[in-house]
Amino acid sequence: DTAVSQTPKYLVTQMGNDKSIKCEQNLGHDTMYWYKQDSKKFLKIMFSYNNKELIINETVPNRFSPKSPDKAHLNLHINSLELGDSAVYFCASSPSGAYNEQFFGPGTRLTVL
Amino acid sequence: SQQGEEDPQALSIQEGENATMNCSYKTSINNLQWYRQNSGRGLVHLILIRSNEREKHSGRLRVTLDTSKKSSSLLITASRAADTASYFCATDGTGTASKLTFGTGTRLQVTL
């Protein structure tokens, strides 16, 4: 069974549309994250939730809105998509506390046309 | 600004050779982690070294940490074609537990 899963794997859409990416983890972890990896492979954290509570919110346009219905799920909704949003988005999870490795999902490749 | 810088950006070696990748960071850390990313896949955790540790081994991997120089190295011994991937260091800064800041990555190519 996949530990951290994301859907969809690929997402191609037009500028201005609204889209969502879903993430689920079955590891029993308390903390979940969204990362964005650009075309140069630079990976940057966007959001982090701990037990459904937002704990990290980096400088991300407010067109991006994460939602955590429970601690096993963290979805990412993006409004009014722009060309610059094209990237690979990774979900990850980890147990709470320091010294913890993060477990990554397979990624969602978003292409905005 | 970006926390970790990795060196080299790309490395090409032959199977059986050792590969060394370096990571430098800017601020104090709780721990430093290394991840591998195969093409088109998510990142996979390799090894974690705490700020009070200097060296750690896991199989063919050896990681060193020098907090005075704010640098770490990852050595892969007896490389295999399957080691071909991008390797990233990630630091967990003091006071920001569970927030990892990733380096720029080293792309390793191991040829037969």
Tens digits of per-residue pLDDT, A4-62? 999 999 999 999 999 999 999 999 999 999 999 999 889 999 999 988 888 888 878 99
Which has the higher per-residue pLDDT, B99 or A95?
A: A95
Q: Which residues pair with A70 in a beta bridge?
A: A73
What was the pLDDT predicted at A52? 83
Q: What is the DSSP letter of A83?
A: G
Pairing label, strands B19-24, B55-58: unpaired
Q: Is B101 on the interface with A (CB under 8 A)?
A: yes
Residue of A nearest to B49 (CA): A99
User: Does the pLDDT of residue A97 top 70, yes or no?
Assistant: no
Of the pLDDT bands very low, low, confident and very high (cuts 50, 70, 90), residue A99 is low
The alpha carbon torsion through B44, B51, B100, B85 (nearest 10 deg) reads -30
Q: Is a pLDDT exceeding 60 seen at residue A98?
A: no
The answer to whether the beta carbons of residues B109 and B99 sit under 8 Å apart is no
Whether A41 has its CB under 8 Å from any CB of chain B: the answer is yes
Chain A CB contacts of B50 under 8 Å are 99
Q: CB of B41 within 8 Å of any CB in chain A?
A: yes
pLDDT at B90: 94
Query: What's residue B5's pLDDT?
Result: 82
- Digit-coded pLDDT (tens) for B30-76: 899 999 999 989 999 999 999 999 999 999 999 999 999 999 999 99
pLDDT tens per residue across span B84-106? 999 999 998 766 556 788 988 99
Which one of B45, B50, B97 has the shortest CB-CB distance to A97? B97
Chain B residue with the nearest C-alpha to that of A48: B99
Nearest to B30 among A55, A99, A105 (CB): A99
| Stronger pLDDT, B111 or A59, i.e. the higher one | B111
Query: Which of chain A's residues have a Cβ under 8 Å away from the Cβ of B65?
Result: none
Which pLDDT score is estimated for A45?
Answer: 92
Which tokens hold the place of A54? 């937002």
Q: Hey, are the CB atoms on A42 and B104 less than 8 Å from each other? A: yes
* One-letter identity of residue A56: I
Closest Cα of chain A to B79: distance in Å? Answer: 23
Contact A4 B105 (CB under 8 A): no
Contact A41 B86 (CB under 8 A): yes
Q: CA A86 to CA B16: how far, in whole Å?
A: 38
Sheet strands (E) in chain A: 4-7, 10-13, 19-25, 31-37, 43-50, 53-57, 64-70, 73-78, 87-94, 103-104, 108-112
**Structure confidence at residue A77 as a pLDDT band (50, 70, 90):** very high
Give the mutation candidate from A27, A57, A102 for the B interface (greatest B CB count, under 10 A). A102
Higher per-residue confidence, A90 vs A51: A90
The predicted structure's pLDDT at residue B32: 94
Q: What are the strands of the beta sheet with A19-25, ordered from one edge? A: A4-7, A19-25, A73-78, A64-70
